[in-house]
Amino acid sequence: MAKTADRLNERLVASLQGEKIVQLITMDKDTNLPNLSAVSWLLADPSGKTVNIAMGPKAASVENIRHNPHVVLGFFADGSYYALSGTASVSDTFERTMKLCVVTVEAEAVEDAIFYGGQVTVEPAYIKTYNPELAKKLDEEVYELLRQ
């Protein structure tokens, strides 16, 4: 049986400091079926108890969380794959270059979810395919917001 903790350990916190593909699973507000989205603007708190995620306020995941706050974050880190289960809340909308809100996930359980005998040797990587100056500006605004 996998070992479960109530917070992210130091290595996992370090791995969740943005620019990482993380799967966010919510429950669809209309169908009550699982809904998966990928996010990358995120920061884990040093305490390991919360993860802040920046999203557009009209995102389906945001609407789902407003109806059912139970979520799971899935992510590669430390040679494995982890599932963080928790309760999420959504902030007010912030006006920046684009409208944003902060989804705060309170960790309730963190579990190493890799299959028996599995080890991740390479984590997924991505590039931003839009205007580099705009990407830099958005990143600066988002991470300033997430640190508040």
The answer to whether the beta carbons of residues 18 and 9 sit under 8 Å apart is no
Pairing assessment for the beta strands 99-112 and 94-95 based on DSSP bridges: antiparallel
Q: Over its length of 148 residues, how does the chain's per-residue pLDDT go in tens digits?
A: 467 899 999 999 999 999 999 999 999 999 999 999 999 999 999 999 999 999 999 999 999 999 999 999 999 999 999 999 999 999 999 999 999 999 999 999 999 999 999 999 999 999 999 999 999 999 999 999 999 8
- What CATH fold (topology level) applies to the domain 4-147? Pnp Oxidase; Chain A (2.30.110)
Sequence spans of domains, the chain: 4-147
Q: Is residue 16 helix, strand or coil?
A: coil
